[in-house]
Structure 1
């Protein structure tokens, strides 16, 4: 049963049965998606979908494009706009209607708030209420995955530890081994959501002698090669899996960065229940492991984000293959 009116109404005339069968087959193959998203009809809706310019955002953007196309919406693909400021301004200005944003970014950057909650639901609800009130932006649904700052250990060090480190074990190891090399990008030691949170949680102040500053893109490979014992990472980066790094277990130290679909409220009001349900369908399966795997397929294996997005929707039964 469709959630709105049927997209196609066919008039069948006895004299044109054969022709109508052919046309019907062509229409089904081109326009109908099957899967759960095929139960929604957004035909006539025009929606511009954007994203930021890094791997995870490209995948999430293309997931939205394919999902909305599956409902019959007229989609303007503006994936890969630029950085956070560019994507947010495009949303506020009406150049795009929707993109995926992180709750920690929403709270601290877009809304200028301090002391974010470490409960993902509470943080998202706080952002949701303020952004709607101040900017007419809706935060719809929330991903299980949390792409926050973290640390990874080299494969050799992880093995010698008997498995992944906890943050406290990492701190204890560094305290006991003064020649430990911790690789960080240049801003991390001074960021309020950076190294200070690790130091406050573990009680260990990292001396400058243990810190090596590198470009973030180099840290993954240098850690894999053992030149860094520990390295700063983003926790859903596909290179963690690809390089067999040991992601240090975070008990809730670093600020949260779950994503929601951020939508202009004027567009949301046209189909409020539908936007909620579609966002839930595409975000609810995305835990850290799955999002990391999708990122790896693009960043490491070289697959096209559009192909990875479609494969994801097919694998979840949201569209037909």
Structure 2
């Protein structure tokens, strides 16, 4: 099915959802006659956002008659891809840039979301696998600074840091491996000319505290970090797309799709994905960080956007 046709189906499904009234519960919806035969196994990585995404798909599929075995924390992208090829899972939560760089071994820097998606689609098309429509949100590396620091120095882009680096230098905090990565400090130096950088290794999640305390000027962040919900931090634009693009898709085996009504299945996934903006994902990640279970977070979101009702009447 073409992307244009699938997009039209998603819009039609969203319109139907809006007209359906109060949502059914998962228990009610899963009692549809075909529910016992439409079985699918979905895998995820271990970090909270991937778990939330798996739950969003599982629960939305359940109310549309599918029985879903959600296998959480299967492993990183390469492990999930191998599990799909081995038939241990039928589909998985995938990030387009990670698929392209880690699984396919292709370059991702400089590619916008559509180019990255097209490359992933082409890669899997030759292997009898299909990818869903991408989410609006991306979760990719970014450089963050405190709002006040951005305002005082006129910073809107990573390129603006070059002037600071050429003057007094820039203090950068990031996870330890970032220092030696092209999609990290090496790329920042080569692409943006950040020559004089004092690097401070910091455990993932603790970099925002360094910014708050003024111990660093900038940090490596991810664009859906829960810390971004409260404000106070500015994500600098990456005009050269050094960090590539990282939208979420489901990668699924075509043979499995043929046995479970592929159009209906992908309609559900694409309709959920269409609702996943950056703000929505940041908020859900923050809820999980605050201690709420990913299943509850996903259920509340699906109810809020009207997707706890079957798409097909």
TM-score bracket for the superposition, by shorter chain length: 0.7 to 0.9
- 1:266 maps to 2:255: yes
Give the match for residue 21 of structure 1: none
Greater RCO (CA < 8 Å, at least 6 residues apart): 2
- Contact in 1 for aligned 2:94/2:251 (Cα 8 Å): yes
Give the match for residue 220 of structure 2: 232
Inter-partner Cα distance in structure 1 for 2:73 and 2:108:
30
Match of 1:58 among 18, 35, 51: 51
Give the match for residue 14 of structure 1: none
- Contact in 2 for aligned 1:197/1:253 (Cα 8 Å): yes
Inter-partner Cα distance in structure 2 for 1:40 and 1:192:
52
CA positional deviation for 1:30: 6.2
CA positional deviation for 1:159: 5.0
Matches within 5 A, 1:32-181: 32-33=28-29, 44-114=37-107, 118-134=111-127, 136-161=128-153, 165-178=156-169, 180-181=170-171
CA positional deviation for 1:29: 5.7
Structure 1 225/42 Cα, relative in aligned 2: closer, same or farther at 3 Å?
farther
Give the match for residue 195 of structure 2: 206
Inter-partner Cα distance in structure 2 for 1:285 and 1:275:
16
CA positional deviation for 1:307: 0.8
Inter-partner Cα distance in structure 2 for 1:211 and 1:228:
9
Rg larger in 1 or in 2? Answer: 1
Structure 1 30/196 Cα, relative in aligned 2: closer, same or farther at 3 Å?
closer
Give the match for residue 25 of structure 1: none
- Contact in 1 for aligned 2:166/2:196 (Cα 8 Å): no
- Contact in 2 for aligned 1:201/1:253 (Cα 8 Å): yes
More divergent stretch after superposition (231-240 vs 193-202): 193-202
Match of 1:275 among 256, 265, 268: 265
- Contact in 1 for aligned 2:35/2:66 (Cα 8 Å): yes
Three-state SS of the structure 1 residue aligned to 2:281 is helix
Three-state SS of the structure 1 residue aligned to 2:252 is strand
Give structure 1 stretches of 5+ with no counterpart.
Answer: 4-27
- Contact in 2 for aligned 1:149/1:235 (Cα 8 Å): yes
Give the match for residue 193 of structure 1: 183
